Amino acid sequence: MQLVVARIGRAHGIKGEVTVEVRTDEPELRLAPGAVLATDPASTGPLTIATGRVHSGRLLLRFEGVSDRTGAEALRNTLLIADVDPEELPEDEDEYYDHQLIDLDVVTSDGTEVGRITEISHLPSQDLFIVERPDGSEVMIPFVEEIVAEIDLEEQKAVITPPPGLIDDRAEVASTRDAEAAEGAEGAEGAEGTESAESAKGAEGTGPAGEES
């Protein structure tokens, strides 16, 4: 199985080094000197890593046969692809390869169906599940411990505990309903005088309209 492990960025210096956007939790294994990687576009590769080092928090690679800035710039935006055994698992039990997560059913902790994972989006700050809902729409779910409570590969499901508003528009609907209720209360104040205004104020202080959404 082939997995994207990095994307080549801009050239660094004049000796053929490039910055890379790492897309693997095991760069020391996948992007080590001597590794031979397929590419997308395929015509650019395969590429063999000659050297690798970290500079200012970014991984820099140099490939065999690329010795100047011009050659490095020609590789920009190329995806680096590694061959991985489908049965291979990451060393950390809390880590997963993309192919293990694709097609998992996503449900909430109370068993409510959310949808199916169709893609993993790797952002600099975090990874996102792209989930296709039963109606064909998509929702993005951050792959963080606070939201993704469990990954069960045997049951082929991901259990989530989403905050309000992440997977539905109930918070927005409630907010709209509260606004309409407040407008109605204002209308009642004008028509019925002080007593109605005090009742409306009491409702705002104790009822749902007084809660933060």
pLDDT at 50 over 90: yes
Span 20-43, average pLDDT: 88
pLDDT band for position 123 (50/70/90)? Answer: confident
pLDDT at 102 over 90: no
pLDDT at 191 over 60: no
- Quote the pLDDT of residue 13: 92
Entry pTM: 0.51
Q: Which of 13-22, 63-72, 95-104, 203-212 has the lowest mean pLDDT?
A: 203-212
- For the beta sheet containing 113-122, the strands, ordered from the edge strand earlier in sequence to the opposite edge, are 138-142, 127-132, 113-122, 105-108, 157-160, 148-152
pLDDT at 88 over 70: no
Distances (CA, A) of 155 to 25, 98, 103, 106, 150: 24, 17, 12, 11, 11
pLDDT band for position 201 (50/70/90)? Answer: very low
Amino acid, single-letter form, for residue 212: E
